[in-house]
Amino acid sequence: MSYTQELDIALLAVQRATLLTQKVFHYNAKGTLSKDDHSPVTIGDFGAQALIISALRHNFPNDEIVGEEEASSLRDNPSLAEQIFALVKESKLDDSSAESQLGGPIKDLNAMLAAIDAGNSNGGSKGRIWALDPVDGTKGFLRGGQYAVCLALMVDGDVKVGVLGCPNLPIDDAAPISADVGGEGKGVLFSAVQGQGATSRPLTRGALASAKTITMKDVDDITQATFCESVEAGHSSHGDQAEIAKRLGITRESVRMDSQAKYGSIARGAGDLYLRLPVRKDYEEKIWDHAAGDLIVREAGGEVTDAEGKRLDFSIGRTLKRNKGVVAAPREVHGKVLEVVKEVLGNK
C-alpha cells in the first residue's frame, strides 16, 4: 500500500499545527499547566493536538489515535480553554485547497475539547492507530529551544508513515547540527513512508513545498562522529553516554537538543548517532516520542534499536514496554556502537 493520502494529510496537519505552536513559542507566557507526572503542558500542546486530531478524524474517521494530552484540565479552566480556542481558530493554512483537505476550521469550543479527548486509544497490535505528540520537547519549547510536532501511523503495530515538524531546525539539510535556534531559514518538515525512503522540505504557511530525499551520512571513522542526546538528564543518562563516546574514541562534544529533532538531524546527515540510555530500570518510553523518528531514520539508511539490540516495539500499548533506551546510528556502524553500549551498561 502506498499510503499517499495518509502522508499528505499527516504533512498538512503537522504543518498547520506548527503555525499555532510557533505563535505560542514567541509568546512570553505559554500558559503552562502541570500533568499528573509533573511534566509541563502548554497551550501549544492542547491547540496542536486539537488541530491534528480534527484533520485525522475528518479524513480517517475509523482510525484510532494515541495522543499525549486530554482535555479534563481545560474543562476545569474555561478561560484557558477559550484562549486556546482563539488560537486554534486563527491557525489556518494560507492555501484554501490544503485547508479544505484537513476539513477546515474546528467549529466550536466543544468540538475542540472533543478532538483533544479523541487521542485516548490504548494502542496495540491491531488496526490503524496514529501516535501523536503535539509538542515533543515541551521543556525545550518553554526555554526557547528545539521542539517537534510528531505524528506517525501504525498499522497492526508497525509504523508505516512518520512526520516531524521542526520549526527551529535549519531548512538546509547540509547545515551543521546545532542546538541554536536563532537566525533566518528555519523550519523543516521530515517524513517517511515504509519502503519509500525519507524526505525533508521547508515548512510553509500554505501548500506543501517540494521534498528532497535525505540519507544518513556515511561514517568511515567512528572517532569523527557527532552524537546527539537529550538536554534533560532526567530523560537520558549523560554519564553513560559520555563513557560510550570515550570508548568509541569520539572527542567532539555531544549536541544536546530536545525532542525528535534529533532523529531528523541524524537522518539528514547533520549528526551521526543518537543515544538515549535509560536513567532508571522502571522507565518506559512513550510511543509518541519515537514512532515517527524511528521510521524516518530507518528509511534514511539508519538502524534504530534499544540498548539490547532489539527493534523498538510499537505494538503493545502506549509505551515501549519491551524496550530500554534507544541507539540510532548509520547501519554500517550501529553494531559497533551497540557493542560499546552493552559493555558500558553491563558494567553497572
E strands within 4-156?
A: 33-34, 40-41, 64-67, 128-136, 148-155
Contact assessment for residue 216 and residue 297, using Cβ atoms and an 8 Å cutoff: yes
Catalytic residue among 18, 42, 138, 305, which?
Answer: 138
- Residues 6 or more apart whose CB falls under 8 angstroms from that of 58 comprise 102, 103
Residue 45 annotated among the catalytic residues of the structure: yes
Residue 138 annotated among the catalytic residues of the structure: yes
> For residue 90, is it left (φ>0), alpha (ψ between -120 and 50) or beta?
alpha
Element of type H or E holding 229? strand 227-229
With the C-alpha atoms ordered 254, 256, 257, 260, is the resulting torsion angle positive or negative? positive
Contact assessment for residue 151 and residue 10, using Cβ atoms and an 8 Å cutoff: yes
Catalytic residue among 21, 42, 45, 199, which?
Answer: 45
- Residues 6 or more apart whose CB falls under 8 angstroms from that of 52 comprise 13, 14, 16, 17, 132, 134, 149, 151
141 vs 47: CA distance, rounded Å: 14
| Catalytic residue positions, numbered | 45, 138
